Every structure is written in structure tokens, then in C-alpha cells.
Amino acid sequence: MNVFEVVAEPRRRQILDELRAGERSVGDLVDTLGMTQPAVSKHLRTLRTAGLVDVRPDGRLRWYRLRPRPLAELDAWLLPYRAAWADAFDALAEHLDALPSHTSEEHP
């Protein structure tokens, strides 16, 4: 499974969002996300296989942390598309600015 397929799943994106703040244990993620432990572990395994997270064992606990490099590669791929979005939004803003303005007095 490639990085795009992995981050397409909303629950995995939620896990990545939680890991932005720093290391989290599986139990922390279970409590925060309201998911079952097996579901969180399954998503973490997928994220780890894709290289998006690292795990650090500490006794019985497993601490997961974000690996930003694959996300930076994803961001670099999206960069040209972001420019296209910006151009489209600029064109929309110009179009809206060109429309006649209506005040609240004109339309009660």
C-alpha cells in the first residue's frame, strides 16, 4: 500500500493528527479517538509499514511517533496542484469582486 492509499483512510489521518504533537501510546490513542485497541493497532501497523510512523518499545508500552519525511514527499507532490487551486481561488475572487454589490437596504 502506498502513502496515498494509507492517508486516504480518515481514521489513519486522525492518528497522524494526534501524533503531530509528539509520541503517543496505543492506549492514549484509543482513549482520544474512541476506537478499539485492535482497530488502533491495525491502523498503526499500516502506518508503520508505509513508513509514516516509528515505534519505540518501553516495557509493555509501545510509543508511536510521526515520521515526517514521507509526508514531506507527499507535500512536494501536491505542490503543483496547490498552485492550481490558488489560481482557481484567485479567479473566483476576481469574479465575485466584479459582481454588483447589494446592500442589506436593497434586500430586506
- Which tens digits make up the pLDDT trace of 45-58? 999 999 999 999 99
What nine digits make up the cell of 23? 509520541
End-to-end CA distance of the chain: give it in Å, rounded.
Answer: 55
Going from the N-terminus, what domains does the chain have, and what CATH number goes with each? 3-67 (1.10.10.10)
pLDDT at 102: 63
SS3 (DSSP) at 23: coil
Grid cell 496547490 in the structure block, residue? 82
Mean pLDDT value of segment 27-41: 96
Q: Tens digit of pLDDT for each residue in 55-105?
A: 999 999 999 999 988 888 888 888 888 777 777 777 777 878 888 876 555
What is the DSSP code string of 25-57? EHHHHHHHHT--HHHHHHHHHHHHHTTSEEEEE
